[in-house]
Structure 1
Amino acid sequence: MPSTRIRLSDRSPDFSVAVEIEATADELLIDFLRATDWPPVDSAQERMALPGFLLIAEDDSHHAVGFAHVLELDGFIHLEQLAVRPANGRRGVGRMLVDAVLTEAAARGYSEITLRAYRNVPWNAPFYETCGFSRSEPHSAFHLRLLDVETRLELDKHGERIQMTAQLGPTGRRTAPETGPKLEP
């Protein structure tokens, strides 16, 4: 069975590969949601200009199979995007990336991390719930700006979008039982 490793990156070529992976992974989402007018993927330059970090998942041949892009703004940390090449899906790569994000966020001193997801897409909110995230409400100016961006992009017309939060301990693992409601089908 091939192994996967996760590495932190600040290399320009990795941001370009992330764009390609996201575009390919978005095709699955577009098909699932039957979306006919999906917004374009952010460019490598746009992603690189944002404060935060990029994690790359690589296979044994050092071929990028997935990534996680995390924002650090206004004292918050937010999992902006996670994508895995469809050919590498259902092999634990996404979960490995989430675990690495949680560990890195904790190492940077954060006590919680947020993300936004489609509530009823199996590899969105239901998946993140199994990774220790629970539904939360956007209250800060930072999180309300994220909601505004999603509204401008009209993402909510394809399904309910929710914010989720995971509480972090020193190693990235959750420190308390879930406090938010379970997601319903």
Structure 2
Amino acid sequence: MPCLVRPAQPADFEALERIENEADELLINELAPDDWAPAPTGAARASEPGFIMVAELDDGHIAGFVHVLEVEGVCHVEQLSVAPRDARRGIGRMLVEAAKREAGIRGYSRISLRTFADIPWNGPFYANAGFVEEEPTTHFHRSLIGVEAERGLDRYGRRIQMVAQLAFPGNHSRKTVHP
């Protein structure tokens, strides 16, 4: 089924929350946490600095999204979710590549994320998409470690920061926060 990756619109916001909650069920089943916070609303995500891209299938339904923050000169994948019914069709990879392209167009030379190292659709997936592990050195990245600890994520497996270098037309490296 053909897929269009495009910027999210307000009409997509309800789908973002639903998709993230559905996708989180896979992680909940894998990690068996005591509790897990529900996804933020799509409107809450859209109110943050950065951008959201959605994958829309030709039947009109939203199959997944990527939410990228732009904070303190850093471009950071905050969330990537694909609806379980649409998984394993390359949609996550298309969303990651779209996020990398958009970040490059916006002038970033790199894009970061934090994830579980050993969950197959987390660390290994991102490594296959060109991300490499690195130590957090910016204020923003170090603050994420504290947020993860407050949420208890470190109890469920090793958390890592990963980064991909960007080399897209339009990338003039005007935003180059490096560790």
Same fold flag (TM > 0.5): yes
**Is 1:4–2:3 an aligned residue pair?**
yes
Which of 98, 105, 117 matches 1:100?
A: 98
CA distance in 1, matches of 2:105, 2:19: 26
AA paired with 2:97? D
> What is the aligned length?
171
Per the alignment, residue 177 of structure 2 pairs with: none
**Is 1:80–2:60 an aligned residue pair?**
no
Per the alignment, residue 122 of structure 2 pairs with: 124
CA distance in 2, matches of 1:97, 1:48: 17
Q: Quickly say closer, same or farther: Cα 1:23–1:55, change in 2 above 3 A.
A: same
SS of residue matched to 1:54: strand
AA paired with 2:105? A
CA distance in 1, matches of 2:43, 2:101: 26
- Which string of whole-angstrom CA distances, capped at 9 and with x for unpartnered residues, describes residues 69-124 of structure 1? 00001111000000000011000000000010010000000000000110010000
Superposition TM-score, scaled by structure 2 size: 0.91
Which of 153, 156, 166 matches 1:158?
A: 156
SS of residue matched to 2:70: strand
The more displaced of 91-100 and 145-154 is 145-154
Runs of at least 5 residues in structure 1 that lack an aligned partner in the other structure: 174-185
Q: 1:149 deviation in Å?
A: 1.0
CA distance in 1, matches of 2:170, 2:143: 26
CA distance in 2, matches of 1:127, 1:172: 26
Q: 1:39 deviation in Å?
A: 2.1
Q: 1:144 deviation in Å?
A: 1.0
AA paired with 1:7? R
Superposition TM-score, scaled by structure 1 size: 0.88
SS of residue matched to 2:167: coil
CA root-mean-square deviation: 1.5
SS of residue matched to 1:17: helix
Contact 1:103 1:172 in 2 (8 A): no
Q: 1:145 deviation in Å?
A: 1.3
CA distance in 2, matches of 1:172, 1:146: 29
SS of residue matched to 1:127: helix
- Which string of whole-angstrom CA distances, capped at 9 and with x for unpartnered residues, describes residues 27-85 of structure 1? 00100112231122122332122100010001111210000000001111000000000
* Percent of paired sites with the same residue: 47
Contact 1:118 1:160 in 2 (8 A): yes
